[in-house]
Amino acid sequence: MIVLVTGSAGFIGAALTYHLLKRGDCVIGIDNHNSYYDPKLKEARLLRFINHKNYIHLRMDLADREKIKQIFIKYKPQRVVNLAAQAGVRYSLENPASYIDSNIVGFANVLEGCRLIGVEHFVYASSSSVYGANALLPFSTKQNVDHPISLYAATKKSNELMAHSYSHLYELPTTGLRFFTVYGPWGRPDMALFKFTKAIIDGTPVNLFSRGRHVRDFTYIDDVIKAVVLVLDRPAVKNEDWLGIDPDPRSSAAPFRLYNVGSGKPVALLDFLHIIETAVGRAAQKVWMDSQQGDVAETHADIDDLVNEFRYLPSIDVTTGVKLFVDWYLSYADAN
């Protein structure tokens, strides 16, 4: 199968690309290698597969409409996984334009490419941040998500709406995956696990926003990839029982679906930090900070739909996952 993966040098994108190549697919990878965090990490991720005979890497921006169109025409991918995005809730407070360019304009260009050649299935990354001001836990795809509290979250909700319109208008099967705090080896430096581990090892303070009261549904990268592949291999179909008078947000009369991808086992941030301290073998210097705009207090994924429809079961607990990350981090830091 020919699969186009956008954001293929990113954390999730690189892990997915590695898995798809390993199982025998051909992958066309697109990444713009921006400097939101150190591009050297992206280059290091790519070294695992960039010379694979079934991989083609393209350095370009999704906002370039004509180039994206030509990529679809030239390579004719059968399925597409859109993981490219300007990430980070806090960064969106300072640089909103970059989120519009990548997460809205770029997303639209990929959708249009899918329509142009009749892609079999379009799978895309949404986010737990779309739940925004919702305080009903666990977060379910049955719930309303009309109150985002960051521009990043708003762009992800927009992606879901745009995908539905293409499913409705052009019969394009689309599936959105709301990821919950993905972590693991090769993870992003702006995420808590990477920052906390680095700070503890370097002997610098760990900033605990909201005075450490946050709770997160941490999801190990291998479990995330398992979910993406399960969904990718089964294109979305119409819900024949869908009714406009009682609309189900998870599905549609069009070939459209939404799923949460999490562990279903939320962990308090202070407990998460203690697990990191244990794995590193050193205590953190804690600095208690107030909450920041755009931060959600707690996340907890209802993953029943994935479990029931795909027999998805997360297999890596947070203690094991953190230890695997710390081991990777120490080897990566020594090499760089």
Q: How confident is the model at residue 88 (pLDDT cuts 50, 70, 90)?
A: low
For residues 172-177, average pLDDT = 98
Give residue-wise pLDDT tens across range 280-291.
999 999 998 877
Catalytic site residue 91?
no
Look-up: residue for tokens 């689309």?
174
Whether residue 148 contacts residue 212, with contact meaning beta carbons closer than 8 Å, is answered with no
Q: Kindly report whether the global pTM for this prediction surpasses the value 0.85.
A: yes
Q: What is the DSSP string of 135-158?
A: --SSB-TTS-----SSHHHHHHHH
Number of Cβ within 10 Å of residue 18's Cβ equals 19
**Least confident piece of the model among 90-94, 205-209, 222-226:** 90-94
**Count of domains observed in the chain:** 1
* The pLDDT value given to residue 96: 81
What would the mean pLDDT of 157-166 be, rounded to a whole number?
A: 98
State the catalytic residue, choosing from 91, 124, 152, 220: 152
Instruction: Give Dmax (Cα) for the chain.
Output: 59
CATH number at residue 59: 3.40.50.720
pLDDT at 213: 82
Domain that holds residue 164: 2-335
Each residue's pLDDT tens digit, 255-283: 999 999 999 999 999 999 999 999 999 99
CA–CA separation, 224 and 258 (whole Å): 15
